[in-house]
Amino acid sequence: MNLKLPLFVFLLISTLACAQESMVVNGSKPWPATENYTFICEKYAYTGETDVQIAKTDKGGILKLTVKTANDIVRIAGGLYVDLANGDVIACVDRNVKEAADGKTSSYYYFTPAEFNKLKNTDIKAIRFILAGGPTTFGNQTGYFTTINRTAYFSTAFDTSKKTFNTASAISLL
């Protein structure tokens, strides 16, 4: 009994440490990253979902925003705003680091060390971004969108569980 408890704790910690994901940007070295969160984007009629992942770098952090698209012309364009739960807003400039594959488009945005520290202390509430592309018949929806930190579209009034992702705690573990 005395040996089983420390062994169990060791296995639990090692499993959590190995479960960390990584992010690679344009062939760079892999950066430790959070899990891939699926935020809800109600105004985006194609899927209604946006994938969000954050990685820690030597000079701050990286935000990867991914959206499924109907065609290869559509891209996430321009800067974006990260709204935090405490009311702060982080403005990210578009450095034109993008990729598109398998019906998805991704864009990478960089955080300064001060901005990354804000992300460690406060959960992300929403991300505001722009989808741009050529107008075609039965093409993709373009315009301004807001993706919200929610785990599901619907819930009941009796559901008392937390309905958002704990982004701050995951980022602080990086």
Q: Is 140 helix (H, G, I), strand (E, B) or coil?
A: coil
pTM, entire model: 0.82
Task: Assess contact for 73 and 21: CB atoms under 8 A.
Answer: no
Q: What is the pLDDT of residue 14?
A: 43
CA dihedral 87, 76, 168, 48 (to 10 degrees): 90
Taking only the tens place, the pLDDT of each residue in 3-24 is 555 544 544 444 444 446 878 7
